[in-house]
Amino acid sequence: MSSLHFGVFEVYAPHVGGTFSWAHPLSDAADYLDPERWVRMARIMDRTGYDFLFFADGFGYPMQNGDISAASLSAAINFSGLDPSTLIPVLARETEGLGFVVTATTGMDHPLPLARRFSTLDHLTAGRIGWNVVTGASQNAVAELFGHPEMVPHDVRYAMADEYVSLARSYWEDSWEDGALLRDAEAGVYIDPARIHRTEVDGRYYRSRGYFGAPPSPQRTPVIFQAGTSAPGRALAAAHAEGVFVQGTTPAQTARAVADIRRLAAEAGRDPDEIRIMAGLTAIVADTQDEAERLWGEFSAMQTDEIVAALYAGNTGIDLLTLDPDLTLAQALEAGGAVGQMGTSNIERFLGGDGRPAPTVRQILDELRGRGTRGFRVVGDPDRVADEVERLAAETGLDGFLLEPVFGTRDVEGFGELVLSRLAERGRLAPAAGTTLRERIRERPGARLG
Ligand SMILES: Cc1cc2nc3c(=O)[nH]c(=O)nc-3n(C[C@H](O)[C@H](O)[C@H](O)COP(=O)(O)O)c2cc1C
């Protein structure tokens, strides 16, 4: 049985997963502006065996009727937040082996500042940093904020992403040969000019000529993750990603996505079993099943149709509350609804298949209640949750999960202490193969790509 990997899905903001729970008395998420809250969480994660703390990020927010949605603004659903990359050095100082994965959107800028920022983070964390590559959610809001005349079409964003990642990798891997950093005080030579190389890239979307100034870091290239499971998203993952975050909905659909990503990676000449594919997991764990279900009930009672619709619109460009609730999504869209050039994964998942009929708009609203962008859901006592995690992994071929907390640090601690400890006893957590995130994720020594 293969090992399982675990991260925590967080945002440097009050909400995870597009649901409403920061106002619950058990949650500490409203304290997110206080760095001590993150230090507490990171230390717990380091102690209990998580692989990494993951931060989602972006500039957009859910829009409805051409402006930020009311639910999003007042309840801070996927709105309001800070830059997570700046928090990482603080947390790295407080932890030993925990990795950090930060999301950064391609296509908004030139790859140069991103490459330098991640080189810096890799130095500051001693090789514990990863980059989650996304083409970005809420692209309608993003285009307006950045003053772009229109949104870049979905598939063009992915073509740009491929060039963006390739150029960033070239800065990290090709600019400085090993040994280029001489630091020879006697000779007064810091850099060996013979071992520094010019970048000469003349792409369709990005051009660069000259020298990349950031000295190589322990991993050189941060561990590359990717999220976004549309067809071009999977192709991008197959070309570049060492880890992939998929939207876990049903086991059957996830198993297909996992198999497809591995097939595409093999076609691209890569070892498909080296790619770690993970899905989001909302786990409410309590000492007893009854207690866990009571907590889930309290969380569910806080969710509304308005929150569901705001989030869905932000992700897909489709406002479910303006559609006929008795039609399926495909019918409603054919009848003239807004077809987004935004994310497609959350449209495709409701078009039917798996031998199931396509749900109506009303059924989608009900199904998404309390789900937001969350993946699989398990509510129970520690043994049940551990069993369910193993079952989901076996059925889907997933390599691990991102815990999506509902009640903030309380959930991170509970899952770590009660569930990860059980999975460790069952031999399902990999022993550390090195000190870097790449070694941890790959389960073999070697901090560098290749
Ligand atoms: C686990 C997970 C985490 C994600 N994190 C982000 C994120 O932080 N920022 C973002 O813009 N998109 C994130 N997304 C991906 C978006 O859904 C994706 O970038 C975008 O919507 C378009 O991609 P698609 O059409 O391939 O789905 C995440 C997706 C998953 C499954």
Residues 6+ apart with CB under 8 A from 138: 58, 59, 60, 61, 62, 63, 78, 314, 315, 342
Nearest CA, atom 18, ligand 1: 228
Note whether 174 and 210 are within 8 A (CB): no
Q: How far, in Å, CA of 341 to CA of 364, rounded? A: 20
Q: Determine whether the shortest distance from the Cβ of 343 to ligand 1 is under 6 A.
A: yes
- pLDDT higher than threshold 90 for residue 314: no
Cα dihedral 366, 359, 258, 342 sign: negative
Label each residue of 231-277 as H, E or C: HHHHHHHHHHCCEEEECCCCHHHHHHHHHHHHHHHHHCCCCHHHCEE
pLDDT of residue 198: 98
Residue whose tokens read 């090709």? 174
Nearest Cα neighbor of 123 from 221, 52, 219, 217 is 217
Higher pLDDT, 339 or 233: 233
Q: Could you tell me the distance, in angstroms and rounded to a whole number, from the CA of residue 103 to the centre of ligand 1?
A: 9
User: Residue 333: which pLDDT band, with cuts at 50, 70 and 90?
Assistant: confident
Residue nearest to atom 27 of ligand 1 (CA): 228
Largest pairwise CA distance in the chain: 79
- The pLDDT of 329-352, averaged and rounded, is 71
pLDDT at 311: 84
Parallel, antiparallel, or unpaired for β 207-210 and 199-202?
A: antiparallel
Residue 346: is its pLDDT beyond 90?
no
Mean pLDDT of the chain: 93
Cβ-Cβ contacts under 8 Å for 96 (sequence gap 6 or more):
46
Give dist(CA 374, CA 367) in Å, integer: 12
pLDDT of 445 reads 96
What integer is the mean pLDDT of 12-41? 94
Look at 314 and 287; give whichever has higher pLDDT. Answer: 287
pTM of the model: 0.93
Q: Give nearest CA residue, ligand 1 atom 7.
A: 56
Q: Whose CA is nearest to atom 14 of ligand 1?
A: 227
Nearest Cα to 407, choosing from 286, 249, 247, 248? 286
Q: Which pLDDT value is given to residue 343?
A: 62
Q: For ligand 1, say whether the CB of 18 is within 6 Å of any of its atoms.
A: no
The pairing of beta strand 243-246 with beta strand 223-227: parallel
Q: Where residue 33 falls among pLDDT bands split at 50, 70, 90?
A: very high
Quick: pLDDT tens for 146-204: 999 988 999 999 999 999 999 999 999 999 999 999 999 999 999 999 999 999 999 99
Give the domain ranges of the chain. 5-174+205-301+374-442
Fold of 5-174+205-301+374-442: TIM Barrel (3.20.20)
